[in-house]
Homo-oligomer: A and B are copies of this chain.
């Protein structure tokens, strides 16, 4: 794995830092991609040599043009293919022969147009493999590297963006143009700007590993339509975050079924359940965003300002109303209002007029000029309880907007606490906002975005402490026995596996199966009951019966031999009535559990992220409140606990309002064991434990019922 990774990284160097670039398929027709991309590179003053390759022209834009790439007399680090898709493979073959190791294929007309395109794309991959080339694309906008040592705009973007510390990767090319336009207006700079299109070869995962070590990049943003290797993406993200401390923000579209199917028709992507993607991103430390604006709002907070030490902010405003709205937004985002020290209060009291509000939120009053803002901001920065400052401005007639903007920028310089701003309005505040943006002071048109961005940075850094979740070695797993049981179960080709066999398998993985046995006669049932202790439950065991309760094949709370025998008769006659043809293998006798909380655990399999464990409170809570959480297996102890903590069920299990605290540890253990089972047995398509009876703290849990569905053996 490590070696493959290093190999990748060696190959991405020339892609981003080429000394020589060939544009293959360029022409003289302005306004077309083949021409414009050459123009882009020249306009950005690429710090290397550009070769034009065009079958028809002798020269383009004053540069000599070669007929074929093999005609170029020098070595080429990076080739950019802009030929129609029908001839791309021939050009790529020549690149291989020429020894070019990095290629960007801008051309569209591959996988995204259907079967025929997919074939052509496979052809490209074969050629790349043959010559050990790295490919970006096809069907992309290209790559931009603002590092002045390279200065590469190998894209058909109209203009080179400003230099900055944000890397942006996108699966959609069209979105890139909107992003570049948006960023330019707000003076947001980029380190790398990469449109990776169909990711036939280089994927977002390769790019993450590359950017991990890229000194120019501090924040990584990504727009994704398809997570093809969810596990790989999680691993890469975790490694990047842990090793480099760089935050990763991703927009993954297709949240809704309709959106997902629109994405599928757009790029042929297949997506799993969105809530699993949500859980997986969270597990990997990825910050998921809903749209471009949210992403950049958070990105500038990460890129421009130091991380806050706490959630306590000071709000400084020249208008009460917006101060109140910002307070609401801060509290709703989980922030707190800092409580000023006596010293701060005295400073504010002296410097501000009598009508000003010197408590947090500080109102410097509508006629405030910059001096009052400066005093208040400095006082807030100096206050030990303040971890960050929010400056709100409304354009009143006295307000010297531009001066305030410039003064904020100079106060912020070298300050270790972050400062965010919101100048409300539009035209009157435009030049002030522009000044803030030029000086890399985060500006937000909405207090909500300001507060959620602050919260995102705070939480990211709070959780950044290196925490390689070591997967606890699980004891008492009898792998060989499990394999044997599974083979047996599998051998008769069933896909639905009922309770008894599912429980047998789970027992080998140390899951808390109930004391119970299969009885084939009433006397045997009584013997088992006496052995495990009354009260007991009787359940029908039959391959023909999926819903035991509906067939009236379950009797609860049997307290004596007589009750067991009576129940035996009732179950048999009930089942005979409900399903006359069902073969009854016997009745399952288990201990009746009372005074417990019922939860649900399960295994699911996601097309992107693989084995997933589900947790939720039982019954109505899952059905009506959808109070469930997911975790991608295998799961560490911390991750398993976090699955419980993020549900509201956690409050119930912890024991609120006079309820008994339940045995959380046993749930955590069960989640981890289920996760391991899911990883070890890919043939388990679905497994449900419903319910798991969770007893009081220290007393464990016991499985109440379970079933499993196996992938059909082909």
Contact = CB atoms under 8 A, between A and B. Distances in A.
Given A181-B429, A424-B292, A174 B266 contact: no
B177 A394 contact: yes
Nearest to A445: B293
Interface string A251-274: 101111111001101110000000
A711 interface: no
A113 B178 CA distance: 48
A254 B332 CA distance: 11
A361 interface: yes
A446 to B, nearest CB: 6
A480 interface: no
Interface in A640-693: 648-649, 651-652, 656-657
Contacts of A615: none
Contacts of A185: 425-427, 430
A172 B254 contact: no
Contact of A426 (B184, B394, B627, B649): B184
B328 A255 contact: yes
A158 B396 CA distance: 9
A609 interface: no
A321 B291 CA distance: 11
B428 A181 contact: yes
A331 interface: yes
A253 B174 contact: no
B448 A290 contact: yes
A366 B139 CA distance: 12
Copy number of this protein in the oligomer?
A: 2
B320 A394 contact: no
B426 A266 contact: no
A325 interface: yes
Contacts of A428: 158, 177, 181
Contacts of A328: 253-256, 258-259
Interface in A296-355: 318-325, 327-332, 337, 355
A63 interface: no
B366 A397 contact: no
Given A173-B366, A366-B173, A366-B174, A181 B427 contact: yes
A656 B330 CA distance: 39
Contacts of A253: 321, 324-325, 328
A398 interface: yes
A225 B320 CA distance: 10
Contacts of A257: 331
Given A394-B177, A648-B624, A331 B258 contact: yes
Contact of A321 (B175, B258, B290, B448): B175
A427 B158 CA distance: 12
A111 B601 CA distance: 59
A174 B398 contact: no
A355 B113 contact: yes
B321 A181 contact: no
A598 to B, nearest CB: 13
23 contacts: A36-B397, A158-B397, A158-B428, A172-B319, A172-B320, A172-B321, A173-B366, A174-B319, A174-B320, A175-B322, A178-B394, A178-B425, A181-B427, A185-B425, A253-B324, A258-B331, A258-B337, A262-B361, A266-B320, A290-B448, A291-B329, A623-B656, A624-B652
Given A170-B321, A625-B627, 7 more contacts: A174-B321, A177-B396, A181-B429, A182-B426, A185-B426, A225-B321, A263-B320
Interface of A: 31, 33, 36, 108-109, 113, 156, 158, 170-175, 177-182, 184-186, 223, 225, 251, 253-259, 262-263, 265-267, 290-293, 318-325, 327-332, 337, 355, 357, 359, 361, 363, 366, 394-398, 424-430, 445-448, 620, 623-625, 627, 648-649, 651-652, 656-657
